[in-house]
């Protein structure tokens, strides 16, 4: 077993979508919450594999035992953009219209047919949110990161964050931010432990990272 980080491609979509699903409930699996199991990935992971305004990397587990043909399994990812507003514009033009056509918002009188999680994603797809200006004023670059549970706690999360930090710095960024589910205690502890700091926002829970400080640690 050998782990490495490589650039992601559109061919990684099934694996990335699955990882997003099994970490979508505040870091735990959300499989039981969705009839349409691609919904979390379509919002928070898959668009980054296709849009030119995004960066995309995956963590892969390579099995090359007994000199057999190498088999590669995607076990984590970090995706995002070095320019939040450019990404939002790109997604508005090139991503959301086709997803809205695939998943038109169900009528209100059918709400009881869906879980609360599904309804949240229908709302999000119908009216994609934009990041608060108070966050973007501090850092333009941002990330989404997820790793399958068996591969956590081994330092690869920090390495994926480093990859994102290098992307931000290469575009002149001073830092990057991440938004988390307020119920995700494990994620919060991870971000604080590696140097993220709480950012003021009325719209959610955000943490920012000074990339120079992080890369020079």
Reported as a single tens digit per residue, the pLDDT across 5-45 is 999 999 999 999 999 999 999 999 999 999 999 999 999 99
Rounded CA gap, 159 and 157, in Å? 5
pLDDT at 68: 65
**Which DSSP string do the residues of 89-100 spell out, in sequence order?**
HHHHHHTHHHHH
Reported as a single tens digit per residue, the pLDDT across 188-205 is 999 999 999 999 898 899
Sign of the alpha-carbon torsion through 187, 215, 81, 138: positive
Q: What are the residue ranges spanned by the domains of the chain?
A: 2-215
β-pairing, 2-7 with 197-199?
unpaired
Size of the chain in residues = 217
Q: What pTM, to 2 d.p., does this model score?
A: 0.94
Rounded CA gap, 147 and 150, in Å? 8
Task: Please check whether residue 19 is in contact with residue 74, taking contact to mean a CB–CB distance below 8 angstroms.
Answer: yes
Which 3 state secondary structure label does DSSP give 4? strand
Task: Please check whether residue 72 is in contact with residue 62, taking contact to mean a CB–CB distance below 8 angstroms.
Answer: yes
* Of 136, 114, 134, the residue nearest 125 (C-alpha): 114
* Of 148, 147, 145, the residue nearest 162 (C-alpha): 145
Banded model confidence at residue 133, pLDDT cuts 50, 70, 90: very high
Reported as a single tens digit per residue, the pLDDT across 77-125 is 999 999 999 999 999 999 999 999 999 999 999 999 999 999 999 999 9
Rounded CA gap, 55 and 149, in Å? 23
What residues pair up with 145 in beta bridges, in sequence order? 78
Note the CATH number of domain 2-215.
Answer: 3.40.630.30
Q: How many CA atoms lie within 13 A of 100 on its CB side?
A: 13
* Of 161, 178, 135, the residue nearest 214 (C-alpha): 161
**Strand ranges in 18-140 using DSSP code E only, listed in sequence order:** 55-63, 71-81
First to last CA, the chain: 28
**Strand ranges in the chain using DSSP code E only, listed in sequence order:** 2-7, 55-63, 71-81, 141-147, 175-180, 197-199, 205-210
């Amino acid at each position: 077993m050998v782990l490495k980080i490589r650039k992601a491609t559109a061919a990684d979509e099934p694996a990335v979508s699955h990882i997003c699903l099994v970490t979508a409930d505040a870091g735990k699996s959300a499989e039981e919450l969705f009839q349409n199991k691609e919904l979390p990935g379509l919002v928070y992971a898959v668009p980054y594999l296709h849009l030119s305004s995004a960066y995309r990397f995956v963590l892969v587990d390579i099995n090359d035992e007994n000199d057999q043909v190498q088999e590669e399994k995607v076990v984590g990812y970090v995706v995002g953009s070095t320019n939040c507003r450019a990404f939002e514009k790109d997604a508005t033009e090139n991503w959301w219209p086709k997803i809205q056509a695939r998943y038109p918002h169900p009528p209100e009188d059918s709400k009881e047919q869906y879980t609360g999680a599904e309804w949240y994603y229908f709302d999000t797809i119908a009216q994609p949110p934009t990041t608060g200006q108070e966050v973007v004023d501090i850092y333009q670059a941002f990330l989404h990161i997820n790793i399958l549970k068996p591969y956590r706690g081994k330092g690869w999360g920090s390495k994926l964050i480093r990859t994102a930090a290098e992307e931000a710095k290469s575009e002149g960024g001073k830092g990057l931010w991440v938004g988390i589910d307020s119920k995700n205690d494990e994620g919060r502890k991870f971000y604080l432990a590696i140097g993220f700091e709480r950012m003021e926002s009325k719209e959610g829970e955000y943490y920012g990272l000074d990339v120079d400080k992080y890369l020079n640690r």
